[in-house]
Structure 1
Amino acid sequence: MNKIIAIANQKGGVGKTTTSINLADALGILEKKVLLIDLDPQANATSGVGLVPANIRYGSLSFFTNTFKAQNNIIKPEFAHFDFIPSNIRLASIEINKSKSVDLFMLKTALSSVIENYEYIIIDCSPSFGLLTLNALTACHSVIIPVQCEFYALEGLSKLLVTIKSIKKSSNPDIDIEGLLITMFDSRTSLSNQLRVELTKHFKSMVFNTTIRRNVKLREAPSYGLSIIKYNPDSVGSKNYLNLGSELISKNKIAATSPELEKDLSKILTHDTEDVDYIIKGHTTTNDKKEEDYSYLIGLKRDEIDNVLGFSYNDIHSNVWMYRTSTSFSLMKKNYLYLYFENEKVVEYKLTTFKINKVQ
């Protein structure tokens, strides 16, 4: 089995990079051939495996410049049980320039030349929904979503699921969710315990049985350029990630031998009556007649709109943004919300319905 897994969450500080490095190392120790890709311009995974980002000559930028060659880009960190493609700040040029030559399929196309060499390819995504993360979601077979045990942990989770639905419809019909991973868990606090109970109650088997607990050694390991398994193999963090690696392998074995077993999350991603585009907050329908009031959007800034409505495919520099607002999919009728900006704030909105006449 050859599988590409993206580690994604638009919220920063939830443990994406920590999970990417330590899961890749755990899978390697469990005798799986693994490639880890740093797809974040901050290059935390690169420094986390003991490399200096500024010294990187070749890296994940080559995916988007059509210069990717495995012999140049793939390296083997000294401590690691996996191969690695590093990153540095130059990768940010993809987001900043938004070149027309970069599309959503460039990473997928590049990885097609190496996927047969690995059982698992792990992608450490940036904390945003830009071209880099969208390329990762288009290229991957599944997504692991780290969820931190804190008050704001669930904020944005539904937004991420909606984004994945949209990707499933538009550019990657095979994408699925590998699971939700609870990170930074502290059993001494009622908040951590309550969040775990609520996540498990709502998402059921979508939540990994393995929980990543708060661990001082786990936080220290990146400063030494080591995985937690190499830095302190007897630590709680080391045991947690080895357990996660074992659970992931077992989960995929079961899925391979029992394809008839449907994942809980797959039902969410393929529900026939639920629109895979963005569901606007405050939207209600009565017999398919719209009763929307979007006046609360007037005066909001661009980043505030992102927080409320989620990712938009529009050019972020455009003065008009458009969202699909239907709650049920229809080829014959589509409802859209247009937002008009002046001085970086919403000054007007308009609702429009497009109907496609049937051919007589």
Structure 2
Amino acid sequence: MKVLAVYHNKGGVGKTTTVINLAAALSKKNKRVLVIDLDSQANTTFATGLVKFQDEIHDNLKDNYIYQVIASRNDYSISEVARKSEFTNPPFYVIPSHIDLMEHEQELIQQPQALTRLLKKLDEVRKQYDVVLIDTPPSLNLYARIALITADYLLIPSDLRPFANEGLRNVRRFVNDVNEFRDSIKKDPIEILGVIASKVGTSPKFVEYTLPKMIETVEKHYGFPVLNSKIFERRETSKAIERLAEVGDLLIPDPISILDYEPNSPAAEEFKDLAKEVMQLARI
């Protein structure tokens, strides 16, 4: 089982879209995939179709999500909390998040053992999954720290624009800090797979002239390798995630992956290419 954290401390760089469609592409490669949502915004939980309720009364997530996994020593195993997502076929599993997660951060900070609970609980299911993808908050908070302590590899989505590039300095410092903790628990440093260019514009001139310079900047000035794969900003990818279904008088989120929505589209091919590259780099 290989564990990948998908992290950048800059928001709006396509992190969730990368996680869920990469998970779908890996699932279609016959890999047993678990996605863990460690972001209190719960975008991955929404995007994988796990939010089927309309109000707080019918909320079936708040008592059984990633918080309980981290907060409890003996209860709330991965197998108990993971839910099957029909986001793609074949399906993968998701440990959901919840908007309440942020309220628990200070409580968990008082429990040093919370930093390694996810790591230990994942170790119990090593034979059940081939790949674990952790979606992270765009911050330097406790949950991002837990993700980087837990993961074997780090994938950094970025639109390669100046603010995202400046954020890479914070990513580097954060990784160094986490690696010091990993060393204290006899865990090897996290292996950085590199930056995946995401939400990239599709203008031919931009792709031909500007994009190569942006990639060169990241590699030369910030010291991170950039993957060969690229995820372009395409409307069909958003439409697949935003899909709705009518259930009685209600409109219920019914998202699917771009690989199921338009399997022969350029967007689907981009995620297939990313899956191949990640499998090669992480030896999956």
| Same-fold call, TM cutoff 0.5 | yes
Q: CA deviation at 1:141?
A: 0.6
Structure 1 counterpart SS, 2:110: coil
Residue in 2 that maps onto 1:237: 267
Whether contact under 8 Å (1:149, 1:191) holds in the other structure is: no
Whether contact under 8 Å (1:37, 1:84) holds in the other structure is: yes
Whether contact under 8 Å (1:58, 1:73) holds in the other structure is: yes
1:123 matched to 2:134: yes
Residue in 2 that maps onto 1:55: 60
Q: CA deviation at 1:41?
A: 0.9
Q: CA deviation at 1:121?
A: 0.5
Q: Distance in 2 between matches of 1:60 and 1:4?
A: 16
Whether contact under 8 Å (1:5, 1:120) holds in the other structure is: yes
Q: Distance in 1 between matches of 2:14 and 2:263?
A: 19
* Distance 1:184-1:92 versus aligned 2 partners, 3 A rule: same
Residue in 1 that maps onto 2:241: 222
**TM-score, length of structure 2 as denominator length:** 0.82
* Distance 1:152-1:205 versus aligned 2 partners, 3 A rule: closer
Residue in 1 that maps onto 2:71: 65
Which residue of the other structure, out of 63, 75, 86, is the alignment partner of 1:78?
86
Provide the identity percentage. Answer: 30
Whether contact under 8 Å (1:32, 1:120) holds in the other structure is: yes
Whether contact under 8 Å (1:94, 1:131) holds in the other structure is: no
Question: Relative to structure 2, which stretch is displaced further, 81-90 or 24-33?
Answer: 81-90
Whether contact under 8 Å (1:60, 1:85) holds in the other structure is: yes
Q: CA deviation at 1:231?
A: 1.9
Q: Distance in 2 between matches of 1:182 and 1:220?
A: 20
Which residue of the other structure, out of 170, 189, 212, is the alignment partner of 1:174?
189
* Distance 1:99-1:38 versus aligned 2 partners, 3 A rule: same
Q: Distance in 2 between matches of 1:124 and 1:117?
A: 19
Give the RMSD, CA atoms, in angstroms.
2.1
Whether contact under 8 Å (1:64, 1:107) holds in the other structure is: yes
Residue by residue over 1:206-231, the C-alpha shift from the partner in whole angstroms, topping out at 9 and shown as x without a partner, is 21110111111112222121111122
Residue in 1 that maps onto 2:55: none
Whether contact under 8 Å (1:115, 1:121) holds in the other structure is: no
Q: CA deviation at 1:233?
A: 1.3
Which residue of the other structure, out of 89, 93, 97, is the alignment partner of 2:103?
93
Whether contact under 8 Å (1:33, 1:117) holds in the other structure is: yes
Q: Distance in 1 between matches of 2:79 and 2:282?
A: 29
Q: CA deviation at 1:185?
A: 1.6
* Distance 1:205-1:12 versus aligned 2 partners, 3 A rule: closer
Q: CA deviation at 1:22?
A: 0.6
Q: Aligned AA for 2:131?
A: Y
Structure 1 counterpart SS, 2:84: coil
Q: Distance in 2 between matches of 1:205 and 1:93?
A: 33
Structure 1 counterpart SS, 2:188: coil
Q: Distance in 1 between matches of 2:174 and 2:219?
A: 22
Whether contact under 8 Å (2:37, 2:96) holds in the other structure is: yes
Question: Relative to structure 2, which stretch is displaced further, 208-217 or 225-234?
Answer: 225-234
Q: Distance in 2 between matches of 1:100 and 1:88?
A: 20
* Rg larger for: 1
Whether contact under 8 Å (2:168, 2:222) holds in the other structure is: no
Q: Aligned AA for 1:30?
A: K
Whether contact under 8 Å (1:47, 1:222) holds in the other structure is: no
Structure 2 counterpart SS, 1:62: helix
Runs of 4+ more than 4 Å apart = 200-205
* Distance 1:205-1:155 versus aligned 2 partners, 3 A rule: closer
Q: Distance in 1 between matches of 2:267 and 2:169?
A: 28
Determine which structure has the larger helix proportion and give its number. Answer: 2
Whether contact under 8 Å (2:78, 2:122) holds in the other structure is: no
Q: Distance in 2 between matches of 1:86 and 1:98?
A: 18
Structure 1 counterpart SS, 2:50: coil
Number of equivalences: 253
Q: CA deviation at 1:139?
A: 0.7
Q: Aligned AA for 1:64?
A: I
Residue in 1 that maps onto 2:247: none
Q: CA deviation at 1:124?
A: 0.3
Gaps of 5+ in 1: 257-360
Whether contact under 8 Å (1:221, 1:227) holds in the other structure is: yes
Residue in 2 that maps onto 1:22: 21
* Distance 1:241-1:203 versus aligned 2 partners, 3 A rule: farther
**TM-score, length of structure 1 as denominator length:** 0.65
Q: CA deviation at 1:191?
A: 4.2
Residue by residue over 1:108-133, the C-alpha shift from the partner in whole angstroms, topping out at 9 and shown as x without a partner, is 12211112311110000011111111
